[in-house]
C-alpha cells in the first residue's frame, strides 16, 4: 500500500471532516437565522453582500443557471428550492438542506469546489485532488473505490456566482410557496407546481 497517509488516519480525518461539514450544512443560517442581504445595482444582476468580499461582483442570474440543469445541476440532488429532495437517486433524498444551511461564502465555495469525500456530494473544480487544494488531499490519498465523486466541472467564477445565488435566494428562506415554485418554473408552473395548490 503506497498511500501518503496511513488509512486509519484518513478514515478518522475524513469522518471528522464530514461530520463537521454535515453539522454546519444543516445548522441555522448565520447572522441570527437570516440569510445574507444582497445589494443589487439598479441596472445589473451583480451583487455586493455586506462583509462578504468573496462574492463581490457575483452574477446571481448566472448563478441560478449554474444551480439549474444548465449548469452544475444542483437541483438534481438539492431540489429546485434547496430542500434536499431532488430526484437524483445518488442523493437518496438526503442532500444538504440549503435553506437551513449555516455555511458562509467560503464554506459553500469549498464544498462546491471539493465536494465532501465519503458522501454523494461531488466536487466541481476540475483540478480538485490533482493537488492538495481540497482538504490537503490528493487522489492518491484515497483507497480504490473511495475517491470523491466527480461532478460536472464548473469554472471558479461560476462557483462564486452559484454561491451568491444560494446565499441570496435560498439560504435562510422559509419553506417554498406556490409563488416561489411558479417563479422558478415559469411557463410550466401550472403543471410543475400543482402540488402546492392542494
1 inside domain: no
2 inside domain: no
The domain spanning residue 46 has which CATH number?
A: 1.10.760.10
pLDDT for position 108: 96
52 inside domain: yes
Give the cell for residue 55.
462574492
32 inside domain: yes
Give the cell for residue 192.
410543475
Mean pLDDT value across residues 159-169: 94
CA distance 197 to 162: 30
| Minimum mean pLDDT range among 11-15, 66-70, 115-119 | 11-15
Query: Which ranges in the chain belong to alpha helices (H)?
Result: 7-25, 30-33, 60-67, 75-78, 105-114, 156-169, 178-185, 189-192
User: What interhelical angle do 7-25 and 105-114 show, nearest 10?
Assistant: 130
Q: What percent of the chain has pLDDT over 90?
A: 46
35 inside domain: yes
pLDDT band at 87 (very low <50, low <70, confident <90, very high): confident
Indicate yes or no: pTM above 0.75: no
- Do 85 and 175 contact (CB within 8 A), yes or no? no
21 inside domain: yes
Give the cell for residue 45.
444582476
48 inside domain: yes
| Minimum mean pLDDT range among 11-15, 129-133, 134-138, 186-190 | 11-15
129 inside domain: yes
Query: Cell 435560498 belongs to which residue?
Result: 170
Examine the pLDDT at 4 and tell me if it is beyond 70: no
More confident residue, 94 or 105: 105
Per-residue model confidence as pLDDT tens digits over 34-79: 344 444 444 345 666 666 778 888 999 999 999 987 777 898 889 8
Domain count, the chain: 1
- Do 8 and 145 contact (CB within 8 A), yes or no? no
Exposure class string for 4-14: b at 16+ Cβ within 10 A, else e: eeeeeebeebb
Amino acid at each position: 500500500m503506497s498511500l501518503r497517509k496511513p488509512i486509519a488516519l484518513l478514515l478518522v480525518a475524513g469522518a471528522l471532516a464530514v461530520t463537521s461539514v454535515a453539522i454546519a450544512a444543516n445548522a441555522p443560517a448565520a447572522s441570527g437565522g437570516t440569510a445574507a442581504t444582497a445589494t443589487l445595482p439598479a441596472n445589473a444582476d451583480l451583487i455586493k453582500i455586506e462583509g462578504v468580499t468573496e462574492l463581490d461582483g457575483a452574477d446571481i442570474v448566472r448563478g441560478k443557471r449554474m444551480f439549474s440543469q444548465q449548469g452544475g445541476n444542483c437541483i438534481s440532488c438539492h431540489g429546485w428550492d434547496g430542500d434536499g429532495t431532488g430526484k437524483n437517486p445518488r442523493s437518496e433524498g438526503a442532500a444538504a438542506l440549503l435553506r437551513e444551511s449555516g455555511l458562509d461564502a467560503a464554506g459553500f465555495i469549498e464544498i462546491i469546489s471539493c465536494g465532501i469525500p465519503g458522501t454523494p456530494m461531488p466536487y466541481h473544480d476540475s483540478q480538485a485532488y490533482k493537488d492538495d487544494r481540497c482538504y490537503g488531499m490528493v487522489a492518491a490519498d484515497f483507497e480504490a473505490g473511495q475517491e470523491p465523486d466527480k461532478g460536472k466541472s464548473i469554472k471558479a467564477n461560476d462557483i462564486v456566482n452559484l454561491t451568491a445565488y444560494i446565499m441570496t435566494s435560498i439560504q435562510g428562506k422559509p419553506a417554498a410557496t406556490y409563488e416561489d415554485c411558479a417563479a422558478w418554473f415559469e411557463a410550466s408552473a401550472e403543471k410543475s407546481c400543482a402540488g402546492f395548490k392542494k
